[in-house]
Amino acid sequence: MIIDTHCHLFYDELKNDLPGVIERAEESGVNRFICVGTNMEDSRECLALGETHENIYASAGVHPHDAKDVPKDYVDQIHDLMTFDSMVAVGEMGLDYFRNISEPEIQRKVFREQMQIASQLHKPVIFHNRDADEDVLRILSEFPDVIGVAHCFSSNLETAKAFIDLGFYISFSGNLTFKNSHLPDVAKELPLDKLLVETDSPYLSPVPHRSKSNEPGRTRYVAEKLAEIHDVSLEVIAEKTTANATALFCL
Ligand SMILES: [Zn+2]
Ligand SMILES: [Zn+2]
In 3D, which of 217, 214, 235 has the Cα closest to residue 226?
A: 235
15-42 tens-digit pLDDT: 999 999 999 999 999 999 999 999 999 9
Distance 6 CA to ligand 1 centre (A): 9
Predicted local distance difference test score (pLDDT) of residue 213:
85
Residue 57 · residue 251 · CB < 8 Å:
yes
Distance 13 CA to ligand 2 centre (A): 15
Q: Is 159 helix (H, G, I), strand (E, B) or coil?
A: helix
Question: Could you give phi then psi for residue 84, rounded to 5 degrees?
Answer: -85, 150
Name residues with Cβ closer than 5 Å to ligand 1, which is an ion: 128
Cβ neighbours of residue 227 closer than 8 Å, sequence gap 6 or more: 233, 234, 236, 237
Domain locations in the chain as residue ranges = 2-249
| Amino acid symbol at 106 | I
Which ligand has its closest atom nearest to the C-alpha of 203? 2
Which ligand has its closest atom nearest to the C-alpha of 64? 1
182-213 tens-digit pLDDT: 999 999 999 999 999 999 999 888 777 777 78
| Alpha-carbon torsion (80, 145, 5, 108), positive or negative | positive
Distance 128 CA to ligand 1 centre (A): 5
Predicted local distance difference test score (pLDDT) of residue 212:
78
Residue 4 · residue 225 · CB < 8 Å:
no
Cα 90 from chain centre = 10
81-105 tens-digit pLDDT: 999 999 999 999 999 999 999 999 9
Residue 122 · residue 141 · CB < 8 Å:
no
Distance 231 CA to ligand 1 centre (A): 28
Question: Could you give phi then psi for residue 104, rounded to 5 degrees?
Answer: -50, -40
Predicted local distance difference test score (pLDDT) of residue 153:
98
> What is the overall mean pLDDT for the chain?
97
Distance 229 CA to ligand 2 centre (A): 24
Predicted local distance difference test score (pLDDT) of residue 229:
98
Return d(Cα 202, Cα 184) in angstroms, integer: 22
Return d(Cα 159, Cα 72) in angstroms, integer: 33
Residue 173 · residue 225 · CB < 8 Å:
no
Which ligand has its closest atom nearest to the C-alpha of 150? 1
The CATH fold of domain 2-249: TIM Barrel (3.20.20)
